[in-house]
Amino acid sequence: MERFKKVYTQGALDVVEVWVDTETGVNYLYHRNGNTGGLTVLLDKDGKPVVTSNT
């Protein structure tokens, strides 16, 4: 089983994706534009990590 699972993607050159860690359930936001990209924990309105159960 893969540790990370892509659950959302949008765009071709300007890409936004949401990845879920299948061990912890923590969601990550990935953004790529051309040769540049970044990954960060996806936070809820209270500043806590978004956690998905049953991944």
Report pLDDT digits (tens) over 5-43.
999 999 999 999 999 999 999 999 999 999 999 999 999
CA nearest to 41, candidates 10, 20, 11, 14: 20
- pLDDT value for 7: 96
What is residue 1's predicted lDDT score, i.e. its pLDDT? 63
Is this prediction's pTM over 0.85?
A: yes
Tokens of 4: 């990370």
Decide: 42 and 52 in contact? Cβ < 8 Å.
Answer: no
Looking at 1-55, list the stretches that DSSP marks H as alpha helix, in order from N- to C-terminal side.
Answer: none
Q: Is the pLDDT of residue 55 over 60?
A: no
The tokens 């659950």 sit on which residue? 7
